[in-house]
Chain A
Amino acid sequence: MDFIQRESCGKCIPCREGTRRMLEILERITRGRRNETGVQALERFQGMMYLNRLAEVIKDTSLCGLGQTAPNPVLSTLHWFRNEYEEHIFERKCRAGVCRELLTYRIDTEKCKGCTACAKKCPAKAIMGTPKSPHYIIPDKCIGCGSCVATCRFDAVIAE
């Protein structure tokens, strides 16, 4: 969507304004709840209510092929993967593991060797533990950046 929004020439209204609003709606549901205000939460729900309608109108009224096909990925995912959208909104989860802010991280105590690499990398100091014994992530401190996953050499950090 970001790509399409950048490629839009800006001549016709549905493509120029519509793709921008679609992108905003989609970005809202991928964002974490941590700093979300009440109004933003309402906007998140409101946007989703109108996403389908917006996508259909853009497809129906755009001037050229770019705008006419721009909403297709949204429309088809809304059709085939509706449950994933619902999970994003209600359970605040991304099962594909793409929306980083929606992931929660935990450490598999079986796999963790206590090497402390992740705790050193963690920018929020959210990982606790003594060397050579399994570590823990404090969910309230975790900012969901994913650097622990990238650091761990034992695949002990699980994102879900």
Chain B
Amino acid sequence: MNIQVNGRTIEAKRGETILTALRRAGINVPTLCYMESLLPSGACRLCVVEVESQRNLVPSCAFPVADGMKIKTHSPRVVRARKTIVELLIAGHPDDCLYCVRNGTCQLQRLADELGVRERRYAGMKNDYKIDTSSASLVRDPAKCILCGKCVRVCEEIQGVSAIDFINRGCRSRVATAFDRGLNVSSCVNCGQCVMVCPTGALREQSSVKEVTDAINDPNRIVIVQHAPAVSVTLGEELGIKAGTDIAGIMTAALRQVGFDRVFDTSFSADLTIMEEASELAHRVANGGVLPMMTSCSPGWIKFVEQFYPDFIPNLSTCKSPQQMLGALIKSFYAGREGIDPRTIFSVSIMPCTAKKFEAERPEMTQNGIPDVDAVLTTREAAHMIRRQGLDINALTPETADTPFGERSTAGKLFGATGGVMEAAVRTAHFLLTGQELADLKVHPLRGLEGVKEAHVKIGDLEVGVAVASGLKNAAALLEQIKAGRKDIHFIEVMTCPGGCIAGGGQPLGTNTDSVRRRMQALYDIDRDGTIRVSHKNEEVQRLYTEYLGKPLGERSHHLLHTHYARREAMV
């Protein structure tokens, strides 16, 4: 079917919206509330276009195409309407762009510029709202909220958490938690997906840049940084490199320039996690433990289970997440080996995640009152620190991470994408149970961006059912199946964010399906080209076991690398 747009004929498919047809044809119509994978909400009215025979302007995001439709996307009437809408938004918006965390990345700012808004035409009352800084991970500033509703929808429709929703009506409506309490006591799991979709500065991470800077500037502190598997393939985007480029070496060099004393790779402790987790699975299978076992790397998922599915707490692996494992080792094994007082160590982690900030503050994640990890930076914050240091990353020479926690297998690197933990676990479990390596290390059904992936893997005589879910709503659906009596699944990997850590809440803003796919491919390429592709062949991990930990699930592992969970009351 054909439609006419601005006098030009373009092709359209029956049943699709005008916006989809326009975007395919390369005609850009601005939107603020449109979300690719979800039903249109039609709230922002910025995507309006003029359709012949329609009295009013129609929202292109929610209007189906019809054969022979005549559309004007940038007529004076349409542009005037869009400009007026942006002016209306700005009328009630704070005037603090210069101090705003989203200065330069704000979509409202960009639209105002695009439409040529140069004065405040509709002066009037502004809403006086309080900022919510109660959460360990996120900051909410309702004054900057334009009520596009994306955060509400991602929280409810993708994550199934529904921690926030609209309250009140008309010009008094705003987004708030249940009973308008702080985010810290709400059911929020800190995943940060709301930050990723927020067009303005109304949602942002709780920044730790200042703490980290202070620690770096303190000569009495040894500042150690670890970076997550998903960071090296995304950090570049924040620094102007195209999506899906691995800059691990350059990042290490840059972090040293910023002032970190040691740079470790969290992929090392990802390997360690696999050793512990695969052993735990083998132990549970052999001793009739609670099955299916579920991964525990993703802190948003942990809080989700504690709140909404406390019956499944025994199913969660007791392993700490790689971040916390490495944090614990730095302040115990490493401090002991190097003769450093653990109290002088300031342990920083760079994570693609906002929930990790919450995880690091959990009271279980301490030894003798010393937190395993002192501060968590998101990928965005890390990029900010590198930019602030005035570093040109194109001019840096790649460096290798410090020993002993710098060596990793490519299986540990796979932790960054959905299915990666499972793939790494399957490789090692196969070796632990049969003594032989998997014939084809690539486990095809576990790759890709689907929300739920399942596979039945032959390990010796045993057929192990494994499932992978990303996005908490998908995970909840899987849990419901298991509640209903499904028995063929033995091991479940869950990542809170849809796509895994590469699409985490701390990743560069403007993340879309295309960039996530590229990041995923980058991780797969690293695995394809790697020399050590299984966690159990990581020599430093093996040495750690012989020198310090003993054996997986041993006494020391139990104290340092494992944790426990508890039911949480949540306001729903």
Give residues in A with beta carbon < 8 Å to B. Answer: 5-14, 16-21, 24, 43, 46-47, 50, 53-54, 57, 59-63, 68
Docked pose: A59 CA to B172 CA in angstroms: 21
Whether A60 and B77, one on each chain, are in contact in the complex, defined by CB atoms closer than 8 angstroms, is yes
20 example contacts (A-B, Cβ-Cβ < 8 A) are as follows A7-B170, A10-B147, A10-B170, A12-B44, A13-B43, A13-B89, A17-B88, A19-B171, A20-B125, A20-B170, A21-B88, A21-B91, A21-B124, A24-B124, A50-B121, A50-B122, A53-B80, A61-B56, A63-B42, A63-B59
Cβ of B45 under 8 Å from chain A: yes
Residue among A14, A57, A63 with the highest chain B CB neighbour number at 10 A: A57
Chain B residues with Cβ below 8 Å from A43 are 123
Chain A residues within 8 Å of B45, by CB: 12-14, 61-63
A6 CB, nearest partner CB in chain B, Å: 6
The majority secondary structure among interface residues of chain A is: helix
Tell me, in angstroms, the Cα distance from A145 to B123 when the chains sit together: 28
> Which B146-183 residues have a C-beta within 8 angstroms of A?
146-147, 149, 166, 168-173
A-B contact count (CB 8 A): 95
User: In the complex the two chains form, what is the Cα distance from A71 to B119 in whole Å?
Assistant: 23
B48 at the A interface (CB under 8 A): yes
A10 touches B123 (CB 8 A): no
Most buried by A among B56, B122, B169: B122
Q: How large is the interface on B (under 10, 10 to 19, 20 to 34, 35 or more residues)?
A: 20 to 34
Q: Is the CB of A13 within 8 A of B168?
A: no
Question: Which listed residue (A6, A57, A62) contacts B80, Cβ 8 A?
Answer: A57
Contact of B166 among A5, A10, A13, A47 (CB under 8 A): A10
For the complex, is B84 an interface residue (Cβ under 8 Å from A)?
Answer: yes
Q: Which residues of B contact A10 (CB under 8 A)?
A: 147, 166, 168-173
- Chain B residue nearest in CB terms to A4: B170
Q: Which residues of A contact B146 (CB under 8 A)?
A: 13
Is A8 in contact with B80, judged by CB distance below 8 angstroms? no
- A6 close to B170 (CB less than 8 A): yes
In angstroms, Cα B124 to Cα A50, docked, is 13
The answer for the CA separation of A24 and B123 in the assembled complex, in Å, is 9
Chain B residues whose C-beta falls within 8 Å of the C-beta of A16 in the assembled complex: 147, 170-171, 173
A6 to B171, CA, bound (A): 8
Task: Tell me if B43 and A63 are in contact (CB < 8 A).
Answer: yes
Given pairs A10-B168, A61-B56, A63-B45, 8 additional interface contacts (CB within 8 A): A11-B149, A12-B43, A13-B89, A17-B91, A17-B92, A17-B122, A50-B122, A61-B81
Instruction: Report B37-53 CB contacts with A as 1/0, cut-off 8 Å.
Output: 00001111100100000
